[in-house]
Amino acid sequence: MNSPTILAIESSCDDTGAAILSQGNILSNVVMGQQAHRLLGGVVPELASRDHQRKVTLAVEEALIRAKIHMGQLDAIAVTNGPGLLGSLLVGLAFAKGLALALDKPLIAVDHLDAHVLAHFIGPRSPQFPFLCLLVSGGHTQLVLVRKPLCHEVLGATIDDAAGEAFDKGAKCMGLPYPGGPEIDRLAKQGNPLAFSFKFPKVQGYHYSFSGLKTALLYFLQAQQREDKDFIKNNLNDLCASWQKTIGDYLMTKLEMAVRDHGIQHLGIAGGVAANSYLRQKVVELGRQQGIETYVPAMEYCVDNAAMIAQVAGYKYGQAQFAPLTIEPYTRNLPKSGVMDL
């Protein structure tokens, strides 16, 4: 049961992914993005599911070709069954069920957030258990204490927008294209992070809130534009640097609390926002100051991808955790270890 060959499919949001895991190694990791959302300023669920429908077969074929694996060699089919956009999840799930049925192989259902966290175990350098993971993406912001694979306790989470959304919505307020995170990161390099400051929201425990911050930015920009209609254009780099610092420092406040309270020795960041250069720098600095080992998965495993789904499926296969063909997708986060479902 230990070194299976697994095809994994990911379609929870706007990236269609397929990957092959074999003998514990990722042999291929195909991600097909969707450009339409870029032009429309955000993910449009109906368009996303239709595009998955067009791409899922191509992604799977490509993953098999790149891995030099044929269908007959597969031991199981894995798929993301939540959280995510319902229509998008249904495409991947229906495809995976059909394939599992046709090949008479087990189906493995994988939680997308577990996969982001366990992406740390793809590649040569992995954290030791227990480790703390700051999961930051366009849809999720969580502080997760990982005691062992699939034994994850969510210590805190956002009560409204995700950190990636704060980047994206902030960028939109400044007239930058979607997704705004990479744009802000790029422009911030020429800006002064101390030029403008925004107060951190007060939220209990390890939880976060980003929607008030975004509103504060919006009102600030509107007020400044009443004085100078070119305020954004004239201060764009400083605005980006200050906004990036605000989000990064706010994320670090709760992260540092959790590190201290839980005596953390191994710390990781995962999800698309883990690409942010300021956040990465802050996490590495914290590691140096506190003598903590820090980890960031390779970028292709931080953004949405099927390799991370395959990685989790490998653990589940070892424990014979298979899903019935009647399994349904879910759109919201699963509550983990008695922590409230936010």
Instruction: Give residues in contact with Zn ion (CB under 5 A).
Output: 137, 304
Calpha distance 92→15 (Å, rounded): 11
Copy the structure tokens of residue 260.
């201290």
Closest CA to 268 of 305, 244, 296, 227: 296
Q: Which helix (H) or strand (E) holds 236?
A: helix 231-261
In the complex with Zn ion, which residue's Cβ is closer, 14 or 238?
14
Among 55, 297, 304, 310, binds ligand KG4 (CB under 6 A): 304
| 26 Cβ neighbours under 8 A, 6+ residues apart | 19, 20, 122, 307, 310, 311
- Residue 212 interacts with, from Zn ion, ligand KG4, none (CB under 5-8 Å by kind): none
Among 5, 11, 81, 137, binds ligand KG4 (CB under 6 A): 137
The answer to whether residue 182 forms part of the interface with ligand KG4 (CB under 6 A) is yes
In the complex with ligand KG4, which residue's Cβ is closer, 101 or 299?
299
In the complex with Zn ion, which residue's Cβ is closer, 137 or 294?
137
Copy the structure tokens of residue 291.
């003598």
Backbone angles phi, psi at 326, to 5 degrees: -90, 0
Q: Residue 65: how many CA atoms within 13 Å on its side-chain side?
A: 7
Rounded to 10 deg, the angle between the 86-103 and 45-67 helix axes is 40
The answer to whether residue 144 forms part of the interface with ligand KG4 (CB under 6 A) is no
The answer to whether residue 179 forms part of the interface with ligand KG4 (CB under 6 A) is yes
The answer to whether residue 273 forms part of the interface with ligand KG4 (CB under 6 A) is yes
Window of 49-57, 137-145, 191-199, 200-208 that interacts with ligand KG4 by CB under 6 A: 137-145
The residues of the shown chain that bind ligand KG4, judged by CB under 6 A, are 13, 137-139, 164, 167-168, 179-182, 185, 271-273, 275-276, 303-304
